[in-house]
A and B are shown apart, each in its own frame.
Chain A
């Protein structure tokens, strides 16, 4: 059958971010997919190197509007790793509360969008109404609905006022019944079942091979979660379940995310009730030379930050790896063989975030991308040739040896 290429993007009314998908279709079946990103590159890593350690936290926060806690969390852990210090317990609890609140609002946002992609706008409206409650909780704690500005190397910047705790608890209690209703709706609604069950299956094997992270991998039966695997924050202080399902289709990804929200509510409630007394900030004066890594389980998976310091006031190198970078290649496994009408929900199922992912893009002066391995090898070969011409070397001794010339 004749193959047709369907371009989606880079600027498309359906999408929230600039990204470009090239779907190769045979009839109505998708046979291949190619993703191009790099339209959203802002040079955040370089910006971070120009600012001081404290100021960088605010730049890192703006890598992504949804993960505005995950990146600073990983970054501050990396900076603390350089110094080898432990954050006070109260700061850890507050960090955990903020991180879990973000997980709830991020999952709700995704759930609403998933409903919208499925043509189920009722879910979209319900969920986004519910999301307002958690955003209010975040505003009470941090002073803003988004970009919380709570993190700093060595602790947190704001304390939780004990007078606010009853109000926060009340708002959290309001969320739970609606979440339960949503879970029931997803569990027994035949329309959602028909659209999501058995669609875009990512097998356990493929998930491991692609190195998928977060809910994407947990829906495929890979029990990996940074919150359980490493000791940080206040996660090891309480009992909570890691949600793992086995099918790996879109339906399971929805279920994993909804059940994770219940766990997040549980964690926040425990933290608020058992908030320890004490300092919230270590007041770090200077950061010694060295390098450190920090990780955090963001709503989409593991966020990884690497920071190197030379003892001065600002980082020398700062590397960010967002979870979508690892989840994006799973499209190759999930979308092949599916119908084109299912493409949008499968592409959305990993909860992609391109502004998190876009750290580097190489282009030539005409705007063409120099991205794949072939291009890079060709560039390398051209460089060797020009160098040879400059040096006046016609044939190197190695080449002579290879060709058998004396």
Chain B
């Protein structure tokens, strides 16, 4: 009976010297380990708005809304903190060098209003010139151009967006090109309208 009691005493004295394992949290801020999986955050510089993260998310914590307003449109991507499980699949699937959405070290995510527990990122969308439907975010098209290089000159949607972005072409210049060729071919088109203009001359003013 003596030995166990002595052992308990030794442990008690040790605990007195070492102190508690817990940290004095509100007074001393907590810094997690470098590898800690905290809240995923969008990166304004890298995110191209491709929605790869939305597809792979196992908890459906990432969602998007496309808002069309006349000739301009924007895509808002939501990340809901309350449904997120911090697995990091979004970061692993991100096409922009895994930097478009990245897990941070942030762990202090308590909130009072659940409906406000989300963060957003906005991306400008490119619309089809004929039917007005959404093609892709502008940044995504520019990302494709960068990836495929000169091959992008086979597709007017790609090179026009690129040239407009660089300031090398504007609508007047493109209009002058159109006079010398089939006008419907040199347009920013969605996949459906592109197929139609390839097979028919339905959308052409000059008639091909």
Q: Which residues of A contact B (CB under 8 A)?
A: 51, 54-59, 62, 122, 126, 129, 132, 136, 139-144, 147, 149, 157-158, 161, 164, 181, 184-185, 188-191
Is B87 part of the contact surface with A, judged by Cβ < 8 Å? yes
Task: List, in ascending order, chain B residues with CB within 8 A of A59's CB.
Answer: 58
Distance A157 CA – B103 CA, assembled complex (angstroms): 14
Task: List, in ascending order, chain A residues with CB within 8 A of B7's CB.
Answer: 181, 184-185
Distance A320 CA – B104 CA, assembled complex (angstroms): 34
Q: Which partner residue on chain B sits nearest A186 by CB separation?
A: B4
Is B33 part of the contact surface with A, judged by Cβ < 8 Å? yes
Say yes or no: A142-B11 contact (C-beta < 8 A), given A157-B92, A188-B3. Answer: no
Give chain A nearest CB distance to B80 CB in angstroms. Answer: 16
Say yes or no: A147-B85 contact (C-beta < 8 A), given A58-B59, A126-B11, A132-B21. Answer: yes
Give chain B nearest CB distance to A352 CB in angstroms. Answer: 26
Task: List, in ascending order, chain A residues with CB within 8 A of B4's CB.
Answer: 185, 188-191
Say yes or no: A58-B37 contact (C-beta < 8 A), given A132-B21, A139-B32, A189-B4. Answer: no
Say yes or no: A55-B36 contact (C-beta < 8 A), given A126-B11, A157-B88, A185-B7. Answer: no
Task: List, in ascending order, chain B residues with CB within 8 A of A185's CB.
Answer: 4, 7
Task: List, in ascending order, chain B residues with CB within 8 A of A157's CB.
Answer: 88, 92
Q: Is the CB of A190 within 8 A of B58?
A: no
B interface, size bucket: 20 to 34
Q: Is the CB of B85 within 8 A of A143?
A: no
Q: Which partner residue on chain A sits nearest B105 by CB separation?
A: A143
Is B8 part of the contact surface with A, judged by Cβ < 8 Å? yes
Give chain B nearest CB distance to A287 CB in angstroms. Answer: 16
Give chain A nearest CB distance to B110 CB in angstroms. Answer: 17
Say yes or no: A139-B35 contact (C-beta < 8 A), given A144-B86, A149-B87, A181-B11. Answer: yes
Is B124 part of the contact surface with A, judged by Cβ < 8 Å? no
Q: Is the CB of B32 within 8 A of A58?
A: no
Task: List, in ascending order, chain B residues with CB within 8 A of A141's CB.
Answer: 35
Distance A231 CA – B58 CA, assembled complex (angstroms): 31
Q: Is the CB of B89 within 8 A of A54?
A: yes
Q: Is the CB of A58 within 8 A of B35?
A: no
Which one of A142, A188, A191 contacts B35 once the chains associate, using CB atoms below 8 Å?
Answer: A142
Give chain B nearest CB distance to A156 CB in angstroms. Answer: 12
Q: Which partner residue on chain A sits nearest B20 by CB separation?
A: A129
Q: Is the CB of B85 within 8 A of A58?
A: yes
Task: List, in ascending order, chain B residues with CB within 8 A of A126's CB.
Answer: 11
Which one of B8, B32, B89, B103 contacts A122 once the chains associate, using CB atoms below 8 Å?
Answer: B8
Binary contact readout B71-98 vs A (1 if CB under 8 angstroms, 0 otherwise)? 0000000000000011111001000000
Q: Which partner residue on chain B sits nearest A133 by CB separation?
A: B21
* 7 additional A-B residue pairs with CB within 8 Å, beyond A51-B58, A56-B58, A126-B11: A58-B58, A58-B85, A139-B36, A143-B103, A149-B85, A149-B86, A149-B87
> Which of A51, A140, A143 has the largest number of chain B CB atoms within 10 A?
A143
Q: Which residues of B contact A (CB under 8 A)?
A: 1, 3-4, 7-8, 11, 21, 32-33, 35-37, 56-59, 85-89, 92, 103
Distance A267 CA – B88 CA, assembled complex (angstroms): 28
Say yes or no: A129-B35 contact (C-beta < 8 A), given A55-B58, A181-B7, A185-B4. Answer: no
Q: Which partner residue on chain B sits nearest A125 by CB separation?
A: B15
Which one of B1, B33, B87 contacts A58 once the chains associate, using CB atoms below 8 Å?
Answer: B87
Q: Is the CB of B33 within 8 A of A129?
A: no
Please list the 4 inter-chain residue pairs (A to B) with the smallest Cβ-Cβ separation, ordered nearest first.
A143-B37, A55-B58, A58-B58, A149-B87
A-B contact pairs, 21 of them (CB 8 A): A54-B89, A55-B58, A56-B58, A57-B58, A58-B87, A59-B58, A139-B35, A139-B36, A140-B33, A140-B35, A143-B33, A143-B35, A144-B86, A149-B85, A149-B87, A157-B88, A157-B92, A164-B35, A181-B11, A185-B7, A188-B3
Distance A184 CA – B87 CA, assembled complex (angstroms): 40
Distance A144 CA – B32 CA, assembled complex (angstroms): 10
Which one of A55, A139, A158 contacts B56 once the chains associate, using CB atoms below 8 Å?
Answer: A55
Give chain B nearest CB distance to A173 CB in angstroms. Answer: 16
Task: List, in ascending order, chain A residues with CB within 8 A of B35's CB.
Answer: 139-143, 158, 161, 164
Task: List, in ascending order, chain A residues with CB within 8 A of B8's CB.
Answer: 122
